[in-house]
């Protein structure tokens, strides 16, 4: 119709340089094109972008708040990266976070007074990991035993977990000291994670997320299980022929994935809230944002860490749009949405090439650009 | 594949070097701005930060606070403000810090119960700033609490509901099972029983302060169960709209607006409602701060103080379409004798507006659902009892989740 037709073809993955260029330009274009919308409100895009970035990374306070958000996002993201590598689409991190929070709260509320102070936090972390892992293993079993689609089962189990939390905070665990509001009693001090002075960053959680990233990276690259996960992820048929036990691999996968989300839940109740509260307040959408973090980090446990900081920063820096410019909360979402959309769109350029073709019946083979030997700049053989 | 993944990790590292460099350049700007400002003549100003739990366009809780803020900023030249909406409970501490440290607010209003502990901690962290927490019970030297209480109006709505219902079934769409809402439902039940002793209240819980879709669903199901009057606590006009739809189809469903003037969403269905007016509370607090005489205290304002008003539109207490039926409905009151419900309502309004509050709905004898006597004859519930109320009056059918 326009004289040209565009054909998209799959090709070899692009070079390192090109992927850097693509991600950087997607981020820059995303930030500025979202900011450009605020020209209508009378703000220059440059001011907006610099304010957001200053709000997220411009001071020690901002950095600490960004990290406080990046910790749960990172834990969830690492777990999801592992699951997605094995092509197990775990949409249930929200529920796994909540179960971790519930288990840790149970220990904090009922066992902590009877335990030595030093044992409380390790117990809470262990229980949180275990509870998240159990919640994650259930859909894994359903999938491997009965062929239940894990997207549906993990998603549905989020609602079950949320209802469980609501039941507890409105019912048996409702705190006598909370004047009838839906919160459990405040945790005793031995059940509260220590933080860097004057911040909301619990240093044990920061250590855990970094260790978790390196340990899962090691597991994926250097163990037999990691190899099997990759084989299942790349080619399930080949994995079956090679005699890899799909069930065993998937269950270990979900123990890690659910367990890490559970740990994120422990961090939230034990550091941020210091009591069990309503389900939406605990998970704060980290289970869903974690999916984006895992994708941005290219399913690489180490890559997830900067991705979590970036998204944490965007959420934290977004405050400034409201406090300094008086813009509505929705504008914060606009930023995250535009940037993520562009980042994900940018992916296409990594392993696809675009061929523009002139619609000319007489000489239908005329290829305008790029030539056959290029694939997004460089061809690998 | 591995090569590519590690490459992408580098991308992020690069990006963050870029980002940090970028921000540190822009962060330099601030000191120069501050220097020019300090050269000007010093006029006392107060900057107030407002933290809202919902969007300010919710037409409910946050909207009402925002209306007062706008009015005050317009009338006091010395008042500046900053707002942050849709703040999750877990983000409150950060937003307070930002308002104090970056926006240099002198006072921060946190307008949701869930912000209580973070506000208390912030008050300890910034002892020379003032804090006000709406709907909470924890106070400090620089942390006061305030609340506009509506139960007296729910009682008045209950009187009207009793006169208008034909099925004798009143539906209540309730946000969360918290004492505030239990208090509202009980007040409605007390008014209802006064006019219509056999009518009963049924409850549907939403477990959300703002969820128009769920509220609509709950309202529809209450109507299906036979309710022809609906009252609610939720921050959208969804219930009024449902009532209007049914009324327009020929099946009258009477509704009571909540919090904001919602009569325009249901001209034929919306009878009256509860209107809140935070202006007086905010004005009093800010004027005292400006004069340097504010002390952290608890302000629990109702009809008498003008923080709560009867009605569903700014200029009418009762939708004129329902004035006639309310005048026709008559009851026998032990004190007032034979009186129309319309007259009774305005008698109660004037009694409750008296400085000494001559009438309170929560006056004994009151029995709970199990038949246990909660208030002895003539006894009035004190603020503490109302603040923690966790039982229903005997003409309520719903249960509190336990």
Per-residue pLDDT, averaged over A321-340, amounts to 80
Looking at the fold, whether A38 and A83 belong to one and the same domain comes out as: no
Mean pLDDT of chain B: 89
> In angstroms, how far is CA A375 from the centroid of its own chain?
31
| Residue A370 φ then ψ, to 5° | -80, 170
Looking at the fold, whether A289 and A345 belong to one and the same domain comes out as: no
Q: Which of B15, B20, B88, B23 is nearest to A296 (CA)?
A: B15
Looking at the fold, whether A361 and A237 belong to one and the same domain comes out as: no
Which position has the higher pLDDT, A34 or A273? A273
Q: Would the CB atoms of A200 and B23 count as touching at under 8 Å?
A: no
Which among B70, B94, B103 is the top mutation candidate for probing chain A, defined by the most A β-carbons within 10 Å of its own β-carbon?
Answer: B94
Q: Which domain holds residue B197?
A: 151-275+309-387
Looking at the fold, whether B221 and B327 belong to one and the same domain comes out as: yes
Poorest-confidence range of A337-351, B193-207, B308-322, B339-353? A337-351
Give A-chain residues touching B97 at CB under 8 angstroms.
61, 65
Sole residue written with tokens 């992916």: A347
Say what the pLDDT of residue B106 is. Answer: 96
Looking at the fold, whether B89 and B195 belong to one and the same domain comes out as: no
Looking at the fold, whether A233 and A309 belong to one and the same domain comes out as: yes
Say what the pLDDT of residue B30 is. Answer: 43
Say what the pLDDT of residue B39 is. Answer: 53
CA distance B363 to B380: 4
Listed in sequence order, the residues at least 6 apart from B226 whose beta carbon sits closer than 8 Å to its beta carbon are: B167, B169
Say what the pLDDT of residue A329 is. Answer: 81
Say what the pLDDT of residue A366 is. Answer: 44
| Residue A181 φ then ψ, to 5° | -85, 155
Tokens of B290: 């400006």
Residue A47 falls inside a structural domain: no
Q: Which of A11, B139, B382 is nearest to B131 (CA)?
A: B139
Say what the pLDDT of residue B13 is. Answer: 53
Residue B26 falls inside a structural domain: no
Interhelix angle A93-106/A150-170, nearest 10 degrees = 30
pLDDT bin (cut points 50, 70, 90) of residue B25 is very low
Residue A66 falls inside a structural domain: yes
Check if B21 contacts A (Cβ < 8 Å).
Answer: no
Listed in sequence order, the residues at least 6 apart from A176 whose beta carbon sits closer than 8 Å to its beta carbon are: A185
CB A200 within 8 A of CB A64: yes
| Residue B376 φ then ψ, to 5° | -75, 155
CA distance B273 to B277: 13
Q: Would the CB atoms of B4 and A16 count as touching at under 8 Å?
A: yes
CA distance A356 to B61: 55
Mean pLDDT of chain A: 87
Q: What is the DSSP letter of A40?
A: G
Interhelix angle A60-85/A93-106, nearest 10 degrees = 110
Looking at the fold, whether B270 and B369 belong to one and the same domain comes out as: yes
A374, pLDDT greater than 50:
no
CB A32 within 8 A of CB A45: yes
What torsion, rounded to 10 degrees, do the Cα atoms B284, B286, B287, B291 define?
130
B57, pLDDT greater than 90:
no
CA distance B141 to B124: 9
Q: What is the maximum alpha-carbon separation in chain B?
A: 90
pLDDT bin (cut points 50, 70, 90) of residue A377 is very low
CA distance A301 to A209: 10
Looking at the fold, whether A323 and A351 belong to one and the same domain comes out as: no
Q: Which domain holds residue A137?
A: 54-327
B17, pLDDT greater than 60:
no
Per DSSP, the three-state class of A155 is: helix
Residue-wise pLDDT tens digits, B131-141: 999 988 899 99
Residue-wise pLDDT tens digits, A65-90: 999 999 999 999 999 999 999 999 99
Complete DSSP assignment for B36-59 = HHHTS-----EEEEEE-SS-TTSS
Residue-wise pLDDT tens digits, B106-125: 999 999 988 999 999 999 99
Q: CA separation (Å) from B327 to B163, B335, B342? A: 10, 19, 5
pTM over 0.90: no
Say what the pLDDT of residue B332 is. Answer: 92
Residue-wise pLDDT tens digits, B149-193: 999 999 999 999 999 999 999 999 999 888 899 999 999 999 999
Share of chain A above pLDDT 90, in %: 53
CB A317 within 8 A of CB A295: no
Which among B2, B3, B10, B23 is the top mutation candidate for probing chain A, defined by the most A β-carbons within 10 Å of its own β-carbon?
Answer: B23
Per-residue pLDDT, averaged over B243-272, amounts to 95
CA distance B363 to A130: 52
Looking at the fold, whether B269 and B162 belong to one and the same domain comes out as: yes
Residue-wise pLDDT tens digits, A216-262: 999 999 999 999 999 998 888 899 899 999 999 999 999 999 999 99
Looking at the fold, whether B289 and B352 belong to one and the same domain comes out as: no
Check if B31 contacts A (Cβ < 8 Å).
Answer: no
Say what the pLDDT of residue A33 is. Answer: 84
Residue B197 falls inside a structural domain: yes
Residue-wise pLDDT tens digits, A169-210: 998 999 888 877 889 999 999 999 999 987 889 999 999 999
CATH number where B375 lies: 3.40.50.2300
User: A304 to chain B: nearest residue by CA?
Assistant: B9
Distance from CA of A128 to the nearest CA of B (A): 19
pLDDT bin (cut points 50, 70, 90) of residue A321 is confident
Say what the pLDDT of residue A373 is. Answer: 41
Count: domains in chain A: 2
């Amino acid at each position: 119709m326009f004289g040209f037709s565009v054909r998209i073809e799959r090709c070899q993955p692009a070079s390192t340089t090109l992927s850097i260029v693509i991600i950087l330009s997607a981020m820059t274009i995303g930030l500025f094109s979202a900011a450009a919308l605020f020209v209508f409100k009378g703000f220059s895009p440059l001011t907006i972008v610099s304010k957001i970035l200053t709000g997220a990374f411009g001071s020690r306070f901002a950095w600490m708040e960004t990290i406080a958000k990046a910790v749960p996002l990172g834990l969830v993201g690492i777990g999801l990266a592992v699951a997605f590598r094995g092509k197990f689409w775990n949409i249930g991190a929200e529920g796994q976070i909540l179960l971790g929070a519930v288990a840790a709260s149970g220990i904090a509320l009922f066992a902590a007074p009877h335990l030595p102070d030093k044992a409380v936090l390790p117990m809470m972390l262990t229980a949180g990991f275990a509870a998240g892992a159990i919640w994650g293993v259930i859909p894994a079993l359903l999938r491997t035993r009965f062929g239940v689609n894990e997207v549906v089962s993990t998603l549905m189990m989020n609602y079950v977990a949320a209802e469980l939390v609501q039941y507890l905070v409105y019912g048996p665990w409702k705190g006598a000291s909370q004047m009838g509001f839906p919160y459990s009693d405040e945790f005793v001090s031995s059940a509260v994670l220590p933080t860097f002075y004057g911040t909301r960053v619990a240093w044990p959680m920061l250590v855990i997320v970094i260790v978790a990233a390196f340990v899962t990276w090691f597991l994926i690259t250097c163990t037999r299980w990691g190899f099997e996960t990759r084989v299942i992820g790349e080619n399930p048929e080949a994995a079956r022929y090679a005699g890899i036990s799909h069930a065993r691999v998937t269950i270990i996968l979900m123990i890690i994935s659910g367990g890490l989300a559970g740990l994120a839940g422990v961090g939230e109740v034990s550091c941020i809230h210091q009591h069990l509260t309503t389900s939406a307040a605990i998970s704060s959408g980290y289970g869903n944002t974690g999916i984006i973090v895992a994708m941005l980090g290219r399913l690489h446990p180490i890559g997830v860490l900067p991705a979590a900081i970036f998204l944490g920063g965007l959420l934290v820096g977004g405050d400034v749009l409201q406090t300094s410019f008086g813009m509505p909360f929705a504008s914060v979402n606009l930023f995250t949405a535009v940037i993520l959309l562009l980042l994900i769109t940018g992916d296409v350029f990594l392993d696809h090439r675009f061929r523009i073709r002139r619609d000319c019946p007489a000489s239908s083979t005329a290829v305008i650009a790029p030539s056959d030997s290029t694939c997004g700049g460089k061809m690998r053989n | 594949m591995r090569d590519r993944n590690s490459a992408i990790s580098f991308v992020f590292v690069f990006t963050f070097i870029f980002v940090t460099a970028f921000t540190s350049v822009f962060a330099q700007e601030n000191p120069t701005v501050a220097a020019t400002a300090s050269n000007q003549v010093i006029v006392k100003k107060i900057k107030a930060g407002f933290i809202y739990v919902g969007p300010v366009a919710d037409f409910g809780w946050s909207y009402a606070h925002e209306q007062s803020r706008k009015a005050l900023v317009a009338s006091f030249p010395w008042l500046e403000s900053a707002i942050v909406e849709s703040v999750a409970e877990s983000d409150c501490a950060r937003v307070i810090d930002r308002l104090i440290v970056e926006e240099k607010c002198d006072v921060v209003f946190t307008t949701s119960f869930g912000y209580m502990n973070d506000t208390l901690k912030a008050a300890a962290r910034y002892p020379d700033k003032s804090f006000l927490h709406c709907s909470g019970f924890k106070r400090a030297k620089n942390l006061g609490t305030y609340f506009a209480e509506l139960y007296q109006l729910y009682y008045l709505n209950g009187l009207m509901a009793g006169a208008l219902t034909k099925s004798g079934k009143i539906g209540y769409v309730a946000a969360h099972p918290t004492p505030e809402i239990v208090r509202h439902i009980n007040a409605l039940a007390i008014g209802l029983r006064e006019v219509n002793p056999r009518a009963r209240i049924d409850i549907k819980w939403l477990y959300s302060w703002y969820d128009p879709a769920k509220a609509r669903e709950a309202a529809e199901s209450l109507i299906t169960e036979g309710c022809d009057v609906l009252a609610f606590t939720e921050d959208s006009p969804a219930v009024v709209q449902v009532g209007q739809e049914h009324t327009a189809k020929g099946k009258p469903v009477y509704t009571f607006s909540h919090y904001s003037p919602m009569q325009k969403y249901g001209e034929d269905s919306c009878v009256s409602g509860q209107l809140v007016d935070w202006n007086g509370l905010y004005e009093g607090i800010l004027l005292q701060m400006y004069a340097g005489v504010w002390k952290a205290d608890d302000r629990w304002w109702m009809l008498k103080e003008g923080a709560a008003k009867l009605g569903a539109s700014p200029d009418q207490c009762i939708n004129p379409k329902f004035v006639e039926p309310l005048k026709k409905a008559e009851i026998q009151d032990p004190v007032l004798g034979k009186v129309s419900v319309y007259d009774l309502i305005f008698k109660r309004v004037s009694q409750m507006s008296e400085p000494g509050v001559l009438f309170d709905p929560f006056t004994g004898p009151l029995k709970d659902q199990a038949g246990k006597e909660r208030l002895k004859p003539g006894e009035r519930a004190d603020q503490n009892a109302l603040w923690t109320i966790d039982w229903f009056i005997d003409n309520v059918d719903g249960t509190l989740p336990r």
